[in-house]
Structure 1
Amino acid sequence: MVIAALNRLVDLVEEQGGGELDVSALARSLGTTEYHLRRMFSSLAGMPLSEYVRRRRMTVAAADVVRGADDLLTIAVRHGYGSTEAFGRAFRAVHGAGPGDVRRDGGPLRTQPQLRFRLTVEGSSSMDTRIVERPAFRLIGHATRVPLIHEGANPHIQRFIASLPPEAHGRLKGLSGAEPAGLLQVTDDVEQDSPEGTELTYLHGVAAGADTPVPDDLDAIEVPAGRWAVFRSSGAYPRELQSTWAATATEWFPSNPWRLRPGPSIVAVVERAGDFSTATTDLWLPVEPA
């Protein structure tokens, strides 16, 4: 279902040309949500939907520019831009040269092929997953804004945690009173199809009951009641955790009747080596029936 929905979305990009892309209406017609569709697209395509749309439109526009049959304003309007200036900026961002230069020289051009999603079933491994229903709870801790990094340790998060005084960890553990247990790594405020480098909220903290008082010097994220898919991974850290995160999009969601819902993503460290080179973690993702 997810793969079919993504391919319909790709087709819609082609059909709309320079028109407005109504992802929300498409998602409703396919029985899913815009949030889930955009997150799955970003995870599987390796780029946000907005970036793919821009690249595809500029790929098609480049052919119009090179052919030279129409003036640049006509081409700009055809592809959804109200002026040659706005069109030129978008064109240069993709191709590295303005439309006038490309019309004169024939290039350079950077082509974005039309995507097509396929599900490959390997059957060689299984994902250790459970579905948990939780009442509303609070995430309490120390929060900051950091850029999104897809691979490897996030140095911004590492520096933030290192800056906390040693007694802060013990204090947080004393506030823990709900699942997931222990010190948690929480990411929130992630846009639906965020590219790498986009800022998000990172919270180093614990889960507590919905009525637990929040100390004045700590931050809190209110989490509504709902279901969670919990994915366990073990091995080299953070590589195995990031591989599991990627596999939720490429393997688990396409073959299970669940979809992402808005909410924070939570990593609970079950056990780890002293130097954190290896760890067993639980990745909590908020889900709802598809």
Structure 2
Amino acid sequence: MDLLTRMSLALAYVEDNLTGEIDQEALARIACCSSYNFYRMFSFITDISLTEYIRRRRLTLAAIELQSSNVKVIDLALKYGYDSPVSFSRAFQTLHGVTPTEARAGSVTLKAYPRISFQISIKGEKEMDYRIESKEAFQVFGYEGIFKTDGSGLKADILHDNAVHQSNPHEMWNQNHANGAYEKLAADAGDLPPFVSPDLCRIHGVCDYKQTQPGTFVYMQCAFRSKNSRIDGYTVTDIPAYTWVIFPSKKFKWGKVVEVVDNLNKRFYSEWLPTAEYEQANGINLEVYSGDSDMGYVELWYAVKKKV
């Protein structure tokens, strides 16, 4: 089953459950990937998060029902997943610009967000550089965080017991730069292993390398483990042998790192993967960094396998 078919089936499940609970495990089974990886693919392909898409679709359907029936606002709120009429009315007004009462009265402009459909769009606007490499199993170690797919933070596993609630891995990087944890990990990293370029930085990122609770994903700010690495106090994880498709960036100012990584992810999911002879082996991917104090460079590694 190809990527676009799996995405369409998963989205059909979402649409069928807009008035009920969207089971993250069911979503992952349909999409044949982790729920987090589906969230990532969806956001990079559509330029909107799945959470926001669900919110807009529910409020679109609620507006239609509000104007075409005598349903009570409290019943409508519960139907579309809101705890109270107040929270529903607030969300409704944020999206539509009017309250549910004003919408029911008529003669107001409302917003409608139609269902998304997936299809291949042939752009060809810019070439994509990539290479495919097979690597033996290796280990990484560092600071692990468990995050929610909806962006709300969970506690991360930071050294010195100074963890705080962070909403995304970018906040983990910022915190670790601020509190000295980044520099400690770099000092403990040791030599780079022989299967990577000697020009790399010591600190990288790895995502979705193990299964977590539904609605969450795992991310580690990490170093490659080598013979002289000091791993005491860190989380250590095994990365199995895989074939990797590797997408390199151009050099960039470090202030643009999030934009660069997001753009590479978007092109991988929306342009390369739908038409390639490969599919993801699982959701795992690495952010491998290089550069100096002024300019950065990143490669995104995705574990892949040949389509059968």
TM-score by structure 1 length? 0.71
- 1:186 pairs with 205, 228, 231, which one? 205
CA contact (8 A) 1:138 1:212 kept: no
CA contact (8 A) 1:233 1:280 kept: yes
Confirm whether residue 267 of structure 1 aligns to residue 280 of structure 2. no
Residues 289 and 213 (structure 1 numbering): CA distance in 2 closer, same or farther, change over 3 Å?
farther
In structure 1, runs of 5+ residues without a counterpart are none
Confirm whether residue 283 of structure 1 aligns to residue 300 of structure 2. yes
Matching residue of 1:5: 6
State the secondary structure of the residue aligned to 2:127. Answer: coil
Give the CA deviation at 1:248: 1.1
Percent identical residues: 21
**1:254-289 residue CA offsets vs partner (Å, 9 max, x unmatched):** 1232226344632231xx36621xx44322234466
Residues 254 and 210 (structure 1 numbering): CA distance in 2 closer, same or farther, change over 3 Å?
farther
CA contact (8 A) 1:234 1:241 kept: no
Of the structure 1 ranges 170-179 and 5-14, higher mean CA displacement relative to structure 2 is found in 170-179
The 2-side partners of 1:27 and 1:136 are apart by: 27
State the secondary structure of the residue aligned to 1:230. Answer: strand
State the secondary structure of the residue aligned to 2:288. Answer: strand
State the secondary structure of the residue aligned to 1:174. Answer: coil
Give the CA deviation at 1:62: 0.7
CA contact (8 A) 2:248 2:300 kept: yes
TM-score by structure 2 length? 0.68
Residues 262 and 209 (structure 1 numbering): CA distance in 2 closer, same or farther, change over 3 Å?
farther
Residues 192 and 101 (structure 1 numbering): CA distance in 2 closer, same or farther, change over 3 Å?
farther
Matching residue of 1:220: 235
- 2:177 pairs with 154, 161, 172, which one? 161
Give the CA deviation at 1:83: 5.2
Give the CA deviation at 1:70: 2.4
In structure 2, runs of 5+ residues without a counterpart are 144-157
The 2-side partners of 1:252 and 1:192 are apart by: 29
Matching residue of 1:251: 271
- CA RMSD in angstroms, aligned pairs only: 4.3
Matching residue of 2:70: 69
Residues 288 and 96 (structure 1 numbering): CA distance in 2 closer, same or farther, change over 3 Å?
farther
The 1-side partners of 2:64 and 2:8 are apart by: 24
Amino acid corresponding to residue 283 of structure 1 in structure 2: L
